[in-house]
Amino acid sequence: MHSLRSLKDIVTASNSSAKLTRKGLVKTWLFSGCELCPNCNEEFLSIEAVILHLDSQSTCWPRESRPQQFPIPPGLRGSRSSTSSATGSYHPRSGYVFGVGKNLFDRLQEDQYDYRRKINTYYPFHDEGEWELARFLVENLTQTQIDKFLKLKWFHTRPRPSFTSKDQLLDWIDALPSFVPWKVSTMEFTGYKTTYPLQLIWRDALEVVKQLFSDPVFANHITFQPHVVNTGGQREYGDYMSADMAWKIQDHLPVGATQVPIILGSDKTPVTRTTGGLEMHPLFITIGNLDSEVRSKATLRAWRCIAYMPIAKFHVHPDYQGILQARLWHRCVDLICANLKVAAKDGCFMPDPSRYIHYVFTPLVSHVCDLPEATMIATVSKSASPITMATQANFGDGVLYPPRTGQHTLQLVYEISKEVDPWDLDKFQKAAKAVHLSGVHMPYWRDWTFACPSVFLTGEVLHTCIKFFADHPLNWIKETVGKPELNARFMVQHKRVGTRHFTKGVTHVNQMTGREHRDIQRTIVASIAGAAPPRFIRSIRALIEFIYLSQNPVHSPDSLQSMAQALSDFHSFKDAIVDAEARRGKKGVKDDFFIPKLELLQSFRGMVKKLGTLMQFSADMTERLLITHCKHLFERTNRRSTDFTEQCVRILNRQESMELFNLYALFYSRGTSLVNAIRIEDEEVTTVNPALSWISRVLPDETHSVHGPRPVWNHFLKGILSGDALTAFHLTSTPDFNALTPIAIEAKYSLVDFNHALSQFINQLSLSTGEHTRWDHGYGHFCTWNKFRLQLHSAFQPRVIMPSRVIQAYPPSDAFPLGNCDTVLINVTGDDGQSTSRVAQVRLIFQPKIPRASDLVLPMYLSSPLLYVQFFHFVANPSDRPELAMWTVERTYMIDQRGRRCRCGGVVSLTDVTHAVELIPEYGNKVDERISSATSLESYDRFFLNSFADKESYHTFSTEFA
């Protein structure tokens, strides 16, 4: 018999694979009453007796069916290229297994038509081909279009599908297996009439959670235990299970329990913008066990819609409309999540993707929403913070106030309710507002174990950071720099492939998305240098730095301290914004910072420690779901508002059933196991698409049948690698020019010293390597390319391969009279043998070409692609310009043999490149009107090395490069 403490609590992950094994059997939890064995349903007097039963020689749980491996959490997954090591410990009382059950795919076989599918997997359809046709029609055509298709004369001479009408087709789709049916409940408040009946369309949130928790697609992307990860001697905060709250909650759960952290998301959105436009208010759910990388992509089905809230118009005075709508919303969520609350308090059994049964508790850890909805959820007034005790007068003072706990709010409601009837709306609302409450007396979270709005209303990056930037700092910059000058600075920036260029500037865009706001942030700090006071720039830079740090996928105590320092710097220098009269309102210049979102930023550091990185709770996901579950659905309905929501539910039901059935039928028809095997080997990640990963391992010829993100092209497999194998390069097999002479290159690319630079390169390498060559480069021919791709691993997560970046090196043309060439960071070895980093502009990508008939063999340093680059040198470090905190570089010039001043160039190996970098010209007070984006990189001599080019660059320049 195995010991109850046989699980290893410590796991190490480094370059070799990290393996978790479960040789122990079932662990114990303690509570009184008669207990049932989850395997054989035999009754026992206590849970200890159940444990003895399961651990005995005569156990009902066969020894061969016990788990040997469990998924490895993201923070402990290694990669072959990673040079850092992570150590970690699991919570010793968590994640135990209590038997074997059925996962989601197994439950599909309980469908009433399963006996027919044993003969024909695709029943009620004739075969796989007809199923694909049916799915295509339902997903892409309207019902009218389906009918027209089935009546085409084309079918008069060809076999028809088994379904002959759209009604029959939809009936068959509705007959596919589904697990969580939708319900319609009529809601009402006695004594308060509404324009339309209040119908809540919903499904049981607990059943949806069970479906997510047991989905075999997620088998390798799910975590069952709170854990602590340490990297480089520092605590690491990643997904929820690696943060403090997961461990703290686990301490209060029965021994052996498994947390299934609940994450909700909601937002009200207009579906149509016409007069009397239709609005919808959906509620979404996911679980924190799933990797945040999976939860961050709408196409991976990690989020599910569980309700469409009624948007009521009460026949009352406008003063009471808001309080009644908020109370209705809370009552609806109460109903939807009722069983989740029971499970959070008492627990329930639930099988995981590998069929193993867990004893599950469901605490609410996050509700993703914007600020107005957070205020409604916390039941506070607009003049108060939903998560701290700060009120409007405190919003801009840079102080972290005590948390506004749920217990405190409920105590205030209780005290008011003793004096005033909650349904005496006038008196109750006035009494509530006196203590900064909204008047909602029964918030949905009041009886949800472990739920506290000061915690689960997590710092939300999209609204609190990105849209805050657009609403406030960007407007301050427009006022200070001036719209024409700001537009000009963005319009003349050098165009890089894969980066948005604002051809018309940034002040004319009426409706920007979060992506465009992020693109503006990339260059805004360097762009306004010289056009705004240094202290003003420093305040803006501090905010941008804070926003970048808040988006880290992984945090450490050092990064959290940097984030707090950045926010502190903003408050130290924000007086410059007032001095510049940049903060304005309807009544003119304002000298205060009473901005609610600014106050929320104070809580970010504590939120990360409690719940993990904030990007896992970003509203980017729910904003995308609003489009797919509301706005896009509108196009597939008959567009009648009377039953629009019901139509949406039917479409969602069909969509969910088709996705699930398609994957199940694919595995079942090929005789493949319905359990997704746990991978224990180290892997480099090129995409996060669990379904695609599973199919590519077991049915590689069927990957075309999977929707969702496709893998990033991995140039580390077949590309050119740097000496340390940390950088991969890719050139097309066919060069842009196949046989150019040195004279042709000098003329075409305007490189007068190309021949001399190549000669120097050959002489230096000949001496250092001892490899000499008879090849005369002066009479040689060269292949040249106009671009190459550079690929790196993520600076945050070394196992993740980033998308490659294109580096351009186009010769002069009509559109680009001076060429179109990007800048890079290269490693250069000096005369002393030391390696240093230099910024250079790539002017030419080339490789010597030897005739096939020749027996000449080139040395190694001439056998791989080379670059002709023009150098920059560093003239100022970040501390010299503290308002920017960026390196400053200047073009390097030399005097040629004829006494002319020319750019200093040289030849280097392609593999000497380490990073793509972005240079922003030092514009001075005003941009030269003669300069355009095609010439800006060639016209200026002094540039800022932009550390905010992207989050990866920011991390590199603030750590490694520094």
What backbone phi and psi angles, to 5 degrees, belong to 501? -115, 130
CA distance 404 to 419: 23
Among candidate residues 693, 670, 859, the one with its CA nearest the CA of residue 764: 859
Q: Is the predicted pLDDT of residue 394 greater than 70, yes or no? A: yes
Q: Is the predicted pLDDT of residue 3 greater than 50, yes or no? A: no
CA distance 571 to 559: 19
Q: Name the more confident of 510 and 703.
A: 703
What backbone phi and psi angles, to 5 degrees, belong to 895? -100, 120
Q: Name the more confident of 334 and 690.
A: 334
Relative orientation angle of helices 143-150 and 166-174, to the nearest 10 degrees: 120
Residue with tokens 């027209």: 148
Q: Is the predicted pLDDT of residue 227 greater than 50, yes or no? A: yes
What is the pLDDT, as a whole number, of residue 948?
Answer: 94
Q: Is the predicted pLDDT of residue 760 greater than 50, yes or no? A: yes
Over residues 5-16, mean pLDDT: 28
Over residues 553-560, mean pLDDT: 93
Q: Is the predicted pLDDT of residue 826 greater than 50, yes or no? A: yes
Structure tokens at 19: 């393996």
Question: Which secondary-structure segment (H or E) carries 841?
Answer: strand 835-849
Over residues 454-462, mean pLDDT: 91
Among candidate residues 695, 724, 690, the one with its CA nearest the CA of residue 798: 724
With beta carbons less than 8 A apart as the criterion, state whether 807 and 829 touch: no
CA distance 675 to 673: 5
Q: What sign has the CA pseudo-torsion 169, 174, 178, 184?
A: positive
pLDDT band of 686, cuts 50, 70, 90: low
The number of beta carbons lying within 10 Å of the beta carbon of residue 191 is 7
With beta carbons less than 8 A apart as the criterion, state whether 362 and 378 touch: no
Angle at Cα 74 formed by Cα 68 and Cα 75, nearest 5°? 110
DSSP label at residue 73: P
Q: Is the predicted pLDDT of residue 201 greater than 80, yes or no? A: yes
Least confident of 355-369, 397-411, 504-518, 583-597: 504-518
Polymer length of the chain: 962
Q: Name the more confident of 785 and 33.
A: 785
What's the pLDDT tens digit per position in 140-156? 888 889 999 999 988 88
What's the pLDDT tens digit per position in 73-109? 777 765 444 555 678 889 988 988 888 889 999 998 8
What's the pLDDT tens digit per position in 900-956? 888 999 999 999 999 999 999 999 999 998 999 999 999 999 999 999 999 888 888
What is the pLDDT, as a whole number, of residue 509?
Answer: 63
Over residues 584-611, mean pLDDT: 93
Over residues 16-39, mean pLDDT: 43
pLDDT band of 272, cuts 50, 70, 90: low
What's the pLDDT tens digit per position in 160-197? 899 999 999 999 999 898 888 888 888 888 888 888 88
What is the pLDDT, as a whole number, of residue 9?
Answer: 29
What's the pLDDT tens digit per position in 31-80? 334 667 777 778 877 666 766 777 777 677 766 666 666 777 777 765 44
DSSP label at residue 642: G
What's the pLDDT tens digit per position in 650-676? 888 888 899 889 889 988 888 888 888
CA distance 262 to 257: 15
Q: Is the predicted pLDDT of residue 897 greater than 80, yes or no? A: no
pLDDT band of 8, cuts 50, 70, 90: very low
CA distance 888 to 881: 9
Amino acid residing at 33: G
Over residues 585-599, mean pLDDT: 91
Over residues 351-380, mean pLDDT: 95
What is the pLDDT, as a whole number, of residue 270?
Answer: 80
Q: Is the predicted pLDDT of residue 28 greater than 60, yes or no? A: no
What is the pLDDT, as a whole number, of residue 12?
Answer: 30
Among candidate residues 313, 89, 373, 284, the one with its CA nearest the CA of residue 189: 313
Residue 752 Cα distances to 843, 848, 898, 900, angstroms: 12, 18, 12, 12
pLDDT band of 208, cuts 50, 70, 90: very high
CA distance 464 to 475: 16
CA distance 730 to 791: 8
What is the pLDDT, as a whole number, of residue 769?
Answer: 84
Is residue 505 packed enough to be buried (19+ CB in 10 Å), middle (13-18) or exposed (0-12)?
middle
Over residues 632-643, mean pLDDT: 72
Q: How many CA atoms lie within 13 A of 836 on its CB side?
A: 12
Torsion of CA 919, 923, 928, 931, to 10 degrees: 0
What's the pLDDT tens digit per position in 467-518? 999 999 999 999 999 999 999 999 999 999 989 899 888 987 666 778 888 9
The number of beta carbons lying within 10 Å of the beta carbon of residue 805 is 20
What is the pLDDT, as a whole number, of residue 943?
Answer: 96
What is the pLDDT, as a whole number, of residue 304?
Answer: 92
The number of beta carbons lying within 10 Å of the beta carbon of residue 264 is 24
pLDDT band of 414, cuts 50, 70, 90: very high
Question: Which secondary-structure segment (H or E) carries 712?
Answer: none
What is the pLDDT, as a whole number, of residue 646?
Answer: 79
Which residues are paired to 279 by β-bridges? 270
The number of beta carbons lying within 10 Å of the beta carbon of residue 476 is 23
Over residues 760-788, mean pLDDT: 88
Residue with tokens 């096939």: 852
* 3 state SS of 661: helix
The number of angstroms, rounded, from the C-alpha of 328 to the middle of its chain's C-alpha atoms is: 32
Q: Is the predicted pLDDT of residue 961 greater than 70, yes or no? A: no
DSSP label at residue 847: E
Asked if omega into 124 is within 30° of 0 (cis), the reply is yes
Which residues 6+ apart lie within 8 Å of 833 measured at CB?
none
Q: What is the DSSP string of 332-382?
A: HHHHHTHHHHHHHHH-EEEE-TTSBEEEEE--EEEEE--HHHHHHHHTB-T
What's the pLDDT tens digit per position in 803-820? 999 999 999 999 999 999
What's the pLDDT tens digit per position in 290-344? 999 899 888 888 999 999 988 888 999 999 999 999 999 999 999 999 999 999 9
Q: Is the predicted pLDDT of residue 267 greater than 80, yes or no? A: yes
Report the relative pairing of strands 835-849 and 866-876 from DSSP bridges: antiparallel
Number of H helices, E strands in the chain: 34, 35
What is the pLDDT, as a whole number, of residue 685?
Answer: 62
CA distance 532 to 489: 13
Residue 284 Cα distances to 307, 368, 619, angstroms: 7, 9, 11
Over residues 594-622, mean pLDDT: 94
What's the chain's average pLDDT? 87
> pLDDT over 70 for what percent of the chain?
91
Q: Is the predicted pLDDT of residue 10 greater than 50, yes or no? A: no
What is the pLDDT, as a whole number, of residue 29?
Answer: 35
What is the pLDDT, as a whole number, of residue 828?
Answer: 86
* 3 state SS of 720: strand
What is the pLDDT, as a whole number, of residue 835?
Answer: 81
With beta carbons less than 8 A apart as the criterion, state whether 340 and 209 touch: yes
CA distance 653 to 662: 14
User: SS3 string of 254-271?
Assistant: CCCCEECCEEEEECCEEC
Is residue 681 packed enough to be buried (19+ CB in 10 Å), middle (13-18) or exposed (0-12)?
exposed
Q: What is the DSSP string of 820-889?
A: EE-EEEEEEE-TTS-EEEEEEEEEEEEEEE--TT------GGGSS-EEEEEEEEEEE-GGGSTTT--EEE
The number of angstroms, rounded, from the C-alpha of 769 to the middle of its chain's C-alpha atoms is: 46
Q: Is the predicted pLDDT of residue 277 greater than 50, yes or no? A: yes
Residue 699 Cα distances to 118, 476, 664, 683, 776, angstroms: 20, 55, 13, 19, 53
Q: Is the predicted pLDDT of residue 226 greater than 90, yes or no? A: yes
What is the pLDDT, as a whole number, of residue 690?
Answer: 82
Among candidate residues 416, 518, 506, the one with its CA nearest the CA of residue 469: 518
Among candidate residues 538, 543, 598, the one with its CA nearest the CA of residue 398: 598
What is the pLDDT, as a whole number, of residue 16?
Answer: 30
